[in-house]
Amino acid sequence: RPLPFLPRRIGIVASPQGAALRDILKVLARRFANIGVVLAPSRVQGEGASFEIVEAIRSLNRLGGVDVMILARGGGSLEDLWAFNEERVARAIAASGVPVISAVGHEVDVTIADLVADLRAPTPSAAAEMVTRSKEELVERIAALGLRLASAERLVVSGGREDLEKAGAARVGEALRGRMRDLALRVDDLTGRLHDSLDRRTTSARHALAILRERMTPGRLAERLRGRRATFEGLGRLLLASIGAEVQRARGAQAAYAERLQALSPLAVLARGYAVCRAGGTGVILKDSAAVRTGDAVSVTLHRGSLGCAVTEVRTDGKREEGI
């Protein structure tokens, strides 16, 4: 059975948890992101796996609208791949109305399913590349056909001009008609190929537009909006709680710093009955009684107010110093 040039929907028989499915989806997203994919989940090894594979193939045929089917599994031992060697799987592939690509194991692994399928791929990724054409390549091909058409027109006109100059007036009509016939044939051929490419691209664009319309329904948009709104409201509550906790922590820290600052303040020391004594005139704080003499003026700062005093007696280490 021939494979479609550009399938609209691809059926995949694989394990939902397998790496083969992830590889196929990655290649399809890169080459043609708008293509439809239908997964028929099935176990691909172990007892009873062949029955599930057969049922998956039949379900894709019953579904309808599937243009091509990929039977995929990663590499493994002969025992791991044995389900694809069973007769029931081979008969299901042969009876499938949808073309089947077998992508089982690695390139060196060959199973009966590979021999019965319409096409064998060495790996699941290679199967995805075989079944889809790159959208960029199609666009480039259309552009190249347009360039070839313009170049052919210029070439034919240029050749006709040269022949006209060489043939002379007697052969102008005949040569021109021949060139025009050739040009018309080539234009018709290139126009048909261009129309085919444009039709394929239009079909793909319509399919993509249908998918976008399905995704952009009011119900789905409203559901996504409600989810985003709930998320933002939760984040807002978390932000307010975090700000409140931060403000409370800052207030506690401020109170602690205020208590420490009050404890270290010289005024707090003075409030306990201590005083600061400075030498008169210089204002230097006195730390030693030997720094003054009897009769010197001193200033005493108290917790509240200050005193101007005169030294009447000086004691050094408890000994009295006589005034001069």
**Is residue 224 situated within a structural domain?**
no
**In terms of residue numbers, what domain contains 177?**
135-215
323 pLDDT higher than 60: no
319 pLDDT higher than 70: no
Q: Which of the two residues, 172 and 14, has the higher pLDDT score?
A: 14
In this prediction, residue 91 carries a pLDDT of 92
Q: Distances from the Cα of 70 to the Cαs of 40, 74, 118, 130, 239, in angstroms?
A: 10, 13, 10, 10, 50
pLDDT tens, residue by residue, 111-169: 888 889 888 888 888 888 888 876 677 777 787 888 888 888 888 888 777 777 776 66
- 278 burial level (CB within 10 Å; 0-12, 13-18, 19+): middle
pLDDT tens, residue by residue, 270-303: 777 788 888 877 878 887 877 788 888 898 888 7
Task: Supply the pTM of this predicted model.
Answer: 0.43
Which of 51, 52, 105 lies closest to 78 in space, CA to CA? 105
**Is residue 187 situated within a structural domain?**
yes
**Is residue 275 situated within a structural domain?**
yes
Q: Are residues 115 and 127 in the same domain?
A: yes
pLDDT tens, residue by residue, 57-113: 999 999 888 889 989 888 778 777 888 888 898 999 898 889 998 888 777 778 888
Count structural domains, the chain. Answer: 3
In this prediction, residue 318 carries a pLDDT of 56
CATH for 16: 3.40.50.10550
Q: Are residues 292 and 305 in the same domain?
A: yes
User: Any residues with CB less than 8 A from the CB of 56 and at least 6 apart, and which?
Assistant: 13, 40, 41, 42
In this prediction, residue 295 carries a pLDDT of 82
Residue ending a domain, among 77, 96, 131, is 131
**Is residue 260 situated within a structural domain?**
no
